[in-house]
Structure 1
Amino acid sequence: MKLKYSLILLASAAFASCQDFLDRYPLEEPASSEFYSNEDELTLAVNGAYRSLYWLSNDDVPYQLFIDGATDIVYIRGTYANMTDMRRGEGSAETATFKTIWDTFYGYIARCNNLLDNMHNARGRVSETFYNRIEAQARFLRAYNYFYLVNLYGDVPFAEHVLDWQQPRLPKSPKAEIVARLYADLDFAKDHLPAKWTGNDAGRATRGAAFGLKARIALYANDYETAAAAADSVIQSKAYEIYPSYEKLFRHSGAGSSEAMLYMPFLLGTQTNQIPKYVGTRLANCYSIIVPTQVLVDMYQCTDGRRIDRSPAYDPKKPYENRDPRLGYSILYPGQWHAGYKFEVHPDSTKTSAVINGETVRINNTEVTNAYGTFTGYIEKKYYDESDVPGKITQCELNFMLMRYAEVLLTYAEARIELNRIDQSVIDAINAVRQRKDVMMPAATLSMSRDELRELVRYERTIELAMEGFRLLDIRRWKIVEHVLPGYMLGKRTKADWYTPVVPAFSDYGKPEYPDESIFQKLGFASFNRDIQYSWPIPQAEIDRNPLLKD
């Protein structure tokens, strides 16, 4: 049975996770005295731990797509995942999403610890190589879960073993201490995982993924030495390369490419996702729920490598021309064709064009006439493959990438810039991303100053990784949350000012600022709340159970 089946099907049936991980012993676990004693049982157990990769909403939409809704680059209609409240600084320790996410990660950590605590039963019964690879995968997956916990919540309880049911409560451990323990897990993992899995094992964590996760954890801990070294190990391995087409990277053809280092697999009959339903246009019978913002659109440079307020190539009457090609590959903007429909959002565009049975016809434009069409005037194109038949909108098999080589290159470049160790390797890393064959933005050069390179690599992280779940944690570690989130979320233009040319200015923190925001519909005001927007509060229900979690 292939790993894709194993991860999705077997794991969901085995090893029920401990939802109240910090409060009680997982009584549902198999008898440790008998289990974990042979290759089949260890494989089943580690496949259960791989469920860690499936951080999903109720409709099987990856939370990475929702979490950008807590930032300036994505708007989420309604109350989905409470992200709009978080962006506005309105959450609290009672917010349900905080507890749901907390329980999810600790539940998966419990699975990993259960395996690690009991796999000794198999010593002498399986080969040392097999045994070490099982342990390496479990430690990798535990580190993956802790990465999110420490970066979303800050200091949290750290458990490396299944808790004693008589003394289940743990105090918080400082983030720095947890990070050091995660390094140890990932060092073990990289020493025992293969560079590549083959056959039925393809898709498991690799040595490169272990280095990549270590680089990511270190970058978010501002440990630039470790981040640069770990990222460089991935680069020097030459195991990965940039996929030539950004446009196709997030379709079936690119999802399993040599750029994908770790991914969330989906398969019809076992587990599918509804990403297209949430991001797609109403014209394609989708919901237009998770949508890009005007701020994100205006962040894309012009083809000369300059911001739109600085570039002579920018024409506010034709705002989508002469722009970084990733804009058109990532975001559906007015006038584009997608999924057989012409996307138009002007209030008077109650009709639009569609290709039906090979002919172009006029149809009702539900993206305008439906009250729940896109509120920003844009649609996300990532992870919507137009080749999928309509039925795949709610049963999508497109893998979701959790780590890709472009991120590692940008981590290496940023870490070296922050260390002020700028050489040609830094420039090459940036340009490998920036000059993908179907992107070809102007190259970075060694003549650029450190501040210019820092601004450029932050631009690349924002644009290259847009709508992939990195923005919230990036603006936190860059310490710019209070400078980019407060204010109104801007929706579609008002009808009276639909065609009014406007060129935003940009703040020192890269935020587009408009001379007259009244030309836009308003989608809610965000206030800065450090207690929510720099780290999420530990759920009150957990504090009530465990007083050691109080500040």
Structure 2
Amino acid sequence: MIKRCIPVFILMAAALIYSSCRKEGFLTATTTTNLDEKSVFGDSSRTVGFLANIYSNVGLSASLSRFSYNYIVCGGLEAACDEAEPSHAFSTPATQFATGTVNSGIIGEEPYKTCYSQIRAVNVLLKNIDNAPLRQAYKTQMIAEAHFLRAWFYAILVQHYAGVPLVGDTLLSYDKPIVAKRSTYEECVNYILSELDAAGNILPVTQTGLNYGRASKGACLALKARVLLYAASPLFNGTTLPADAGPGGGVSVDPSLVGYPTADNNRWKLAEEAAQAVITLGTYTLNTKNDYQTSSPGYGFQGLFPQRVNTEYIFQLMRPTGNSDFENMFLPPSRGSNGTGSFPYQGLVDAFPMKNGKLITDPSSGYDPNDPYKNRDPRLDYSIIHDQTVLLVRTSNGQTNGSAPVNIYVGNYNGVSTGQDAVHQGTLTGYYNNKMLDPEAIAATINHGSDRVQPLMRYAEMLLNYAEAANEYEGPTGNVYAAVEAIRERAGLDPYQLPTGLSQSEMRTYIQNERRIELAYEGHRFWDVRRWKIAPQTENIQSAGMEVDRNNGTVSYKPFNVTKHNFRAAMYLWPFPLSETGKSSELVQNPGY
């Protein structure tokens, strides 16, 4: 049976009441206590706050602080794959997936518990919304938002587990347990799509002003495009997972629970059309604005993430103004961070091409292993801090104290010896994450934080979704080239054009690498290597870092081993927690667990 969720009065106690603050709108919160359904849905602001509380959980899967141990943050999904090393080696899902030790007995109840608790909250709202003292038009919009959110949390569940129990409008409770029979993968996909279609027919194309951050028609179309892209991918489209991974828990797994038993190339067409629907809205564009260094190549990519509102974000996790938690997790110690995030691997660094668009493995690229960061894709510096990256230095009161390089080297350089930022001291890999950080923000501060929100779906992903689906269905057409080249042009590559005459396979390689670097640290890579079924190659690796040795006038770059990663076929999907499968034999465990 599905884990029986917390009583409704506890959900009400946790509901957030949102003010009409012009700066933060739907996000500004206070907490209520000791409220029942009648108290919440008998009050307009409490009703809106109840919905807003559901929104506060939408960043679950992509959270960069998702995994922790005794309140020590150990990173997010980037630390569970070939992107980054977790800051600590505690036993969290990040290290369990990286090292191949994950099983149903040690995996946590999140996201299973969190998603179903939010689905229950949606059902509570749908049951009670008619009683709320709100205008009917506003109720109609809230109902549509609730359907989007239900689809969102089911999409997260399917991403992790494939087919899951569909509970419809049922309210789970302590005194009415629900038999947790898994629905097929196809049934789950169809249900999510139906929820999105229903919501998208009502919601506005975008949300602006105080409604910024709420679900929109654009968000419905974007999630539909993502779900259909996953459904068309090799892992699910004609799945062989039960045979690959073996039976789970001694029970044969019906292939329809973990994908479509029969492959259908037309699923790529559906994914292509869904992504095209987002593009043809004409509402979203790649960001080309940067308030910091307007003349720098790739400035649109760099300047995207500190912006609270921009033309590229389709759906985002709203965050309070003045936030600096990303800086606190990821900046080098010399800039005031606590180093509890994750550290990029050398493999991710190597994935960024040269500024001329050629991979560093191309002999004609101009790559110099003795000067490895010179003339690289501008996104490298905007995503990763390496030795001698220049960052602002700020005092505790927020004043700028000039700029200075980050000294990650070992040895002595220009009279300066190894310091707190050095490899093996401040960083486990020789690198720090720079993705989504605000160059104006100071770690662990409020007065000098960022207005940033966290993107969960953005236009760049839709272009890449379209390119992938269209390439798989039609081959490398002109539209496929245009979508990928738009990403590369914004990135500052010169020339940004792809080689002409690419085969479908060659274009696939370019698209997959563009996803790896453009969407790094945004919660995509972990899933991408699985749905493409390339995880046996990308995850069975010896991860590496870079030690820069500077002594007087000489410098050398020495790769070193970090963590040995292991992958087995069961790890294409997450195991259901043993605490859940133990309650009902109808909740069939995933293959290999």
Same fold (TM over 0.5): yes
Give the letter for the 1:72 counterpart: D
Q: Distance in 1 between matches of 2:123 and 2:324?
A: 28
Q: Distance in 2 between matches of 1:227 and 1:474?
A: 15
Aligned 8 A contact 1:71 1:471 in 2: yes
Out of 143, 161, 178, the position equivalent to 2:188 is 178
Percent identity of equivalent pairs: 26
Give the letter for the 1:291 counterpart: F
Q: Distance in 2 between matches of 1:130 and 1:446?
A: 51
Q: 1:168 to 1:301 in 2, by over 3 A?
A: same
Out of 133, 140, 154, the position equivalent to 2:162 is 154
Secondary structure class of the residue paired with 1:239:
coil
Deviation per CA, 1:412-454: give whole Å up to 9, x if none: 1111111125433222211221111634552136632222221
Q: Distance in 2 between matches of 1:225 and 1:35?
A: 45
Q: Distance in 1 between matches of 2:98 and 2:204?
A: 40
Q: Distance in 2 between matches of 1:398 and 1:71?
A: 26
Deviation per CA, 1:305-346: give whole Å up to 9, x if none: 222121421111111122211111111111211133312222
Deviation at 1:204, TM superposition (A): 1.2
2:560 counterpart of 1:528: no
2:538 counterpart of 1:463: no
Query: Which structure: greater helix fraction?
Result: 1
* Structure 1 segment 444-523 matched on structure 2, within 5 A: 444=498, 447-493=501-547, 520-523=559-562
Deviation at 1:102, TM superposition (A): 2.1
Residue number in structure 2 paired with 1:281: 332
Q: Distance in 2 between matches of 1:113 and 1:460?
A: 39
Q: Distance in 2 between matches of 1:441 and 1:207?
A: 35
Residue number in structure 2 paired with 1:296: 348
Q: 1:310 to 1:278 in 2, by over 3 A?
A: same
Q: 1:258 to 1:402 in 2, by over 3 A?
A: same
Aligned 8 A contact 1:143 1:186 in 2: yes
* Structure 1 segment 133-172 matched on structure 2, within 5 A: 133-161=141-169, 162-163=171-172, 165-172=175-182
Residue number in structure 2 paired with 1:515: none
Deviation at 1:177, TM superposition (A): 1.1
Q: 1:422 to 1:437 in 2, by over 3 A?
A: closer
Deviation at 1:257, TM superposition (A): 1.1
Deviation at 1:495, TM superposition (A): 5.7
Aligned 8 A contact 1:65 1:469 in 2: no
Aligned 8 A contact 1:42 1:134 in 2: no
* Structure 1 segment 83-162 matched on structure 2, within 5 A: 83-96=94-107, 98-121=108-131, 127-161=135-169, 162=171
Aligned 8 A contact 2:75 2:86 in 1: no
Deviation at 1:191, TM superposition (A): 0.8
Secondary structure class of the residue paired with 1:52:
coil
Q: Distance in 2 between matches of 1:458 and 1:58?
A: 25
Q: Distance in 1 between matches of 2:40 and 2:496?
A: 57
Deviation at 1:211, TM superposition (A): 0.5
Give the letter for the 1:434 counterpart: R
Deviation per CA, 1:335-367: give whole Å up to 9, x if none: 211133312222214888xxxxxxxxx697211
Q: 1:427 to 1:38 in 2, by over 3 A?
A: farther
Secondary structure class of the residue paired with 2:490:
coil
Deviation at 1:489, TM superposition (A): 1.7
Give the letter for the 2:504 counterpart: R
Q: Distance in 2 between matches of 1:409 and 1:138?
A: 27
Q: 1:117 to 1:107 in 2, by over 3 A?
A: same
Residue number in structure 1 paired with 2:236: none
How many residues end up aligned between the 2 structures?
Answer: 502
* Structure 1 segment 30-429 matched on structure 2, within 5 A: 30-31=36-37, 36=41, 40-55=45-60, 57=65, 66-79=76-89, 81-96=92-107, 98-121=108-131, 127-161=135-169, 162-163=171-172, 165-222=175-232, 223-244=267-288, 245-252=299-306, 254-268=307-321, 272=323, 274-288=325-339, 289-312=341-364, 313-340=366-393, 341-349=404-412, 365-368=419-422, 372-392=425-445, 397-420=451-474, 422-429=476-483
Q: Distance in 1 between matches of 2:222 and 2:75?
A: 21
Q: 1:250 to 1:292 in 2, by over 3 A?
A: farther
Q: Distance in 1 between matches of 2:197 and 2:206?
A: 17
Deviation per CA, 1:269-305: give whole Å up to 9, x if none: 8xx4622111111111213441111001111112332
Q: Distance in 1 between matches of 2:513 and 2:495?
A: 12
Residue number in structure 2 paired with 1:504: none
Secondary structure class of the residue paired with 1:229:
helix
Deviation at 1:544, TM superposition (A): 2.2
Q: Distance in 2 between matches of 1:494 and 1:273?
A: 29
Q: 1:545 to 1:520 in 2, by over 3 A?
A: same
Gaps of 5+ in 1: 15-27, 353-361, 502-518
Aligned 8 A contact 1:350 1:365 in 2: no
Which shows bigger deviation, 205-214 or 80-89?
Answer: 80-89
Secondary structure class of the residue paired with 1:386:
coil
Aligned 8 A contact 2:337 2:443 in 1: no
Deviation at 1:107, TM superposition (A): 1.6
Q: Distance in 2 between matches of 1:38 and 1:13?
A: 12
Deviation per CA, 1:167-203: give whole Å up to 9, x if none: 3232112222111100001111111111222332122
Secondary structure class of the residue paired with 1:100:
coil
Q: 1:114 to 1:89 in 2, by over 3 A?
A: same
Q: Distance in 2 between matches of 1:115 and 1:173?
A: 24
Q: Distance in 1 between matches of 2:414 and 2:146?
A: 54
Q: 1:250 to 1:30 in 2, by over 3 A?
A: same
Secondary structure class of the residue paired with 1:200:
helix
Q: 1:446 to 1:233 in 2, by over 3 A?
A: farther
Gaps of 5+ in 2: 1-18, 233-266, 289-298, 394-403
2:582 counterpart of 1:544: yes
Deviation at 1:13, TM superposition (A): 4.5
Q: 1:349 to 1:446 in 2, by over 3 A?
A: same
Which shows bigger deviation, 181-190 or 282-291?
Answer: 282-291
Q: 1:299 to 1:199 in 2, by over 3 A?
A: closer
The CA RMSD measured in Å over matched residues stands at 3.2
Q: Distance in 2 between matches of 1:274 and 1:329?
A: 18
Which shows bigger deviation, 443-452 or 193-202?
Answer: 443-452
Aligned 8 A contact 2:330 2:434 in 1: yes
Give the letter for the 1:285 counterpart: G
Q: 1:432 to 1:233 in 2, by over 3 A?
A: same
Q: Using structure 2 for the length normalisation, give the TM-score.
A: 0.77
Q: 1:172 to 1:349 in 2, by over 3 A?
A: farther
Q: Using structure 1 for the length normalisation, give the TM-score.
A: 0.83
Secondary structure class of the residue paired with 1:142:
helix
Aligned 8 A contact 1:302 1:323 in 2: yes
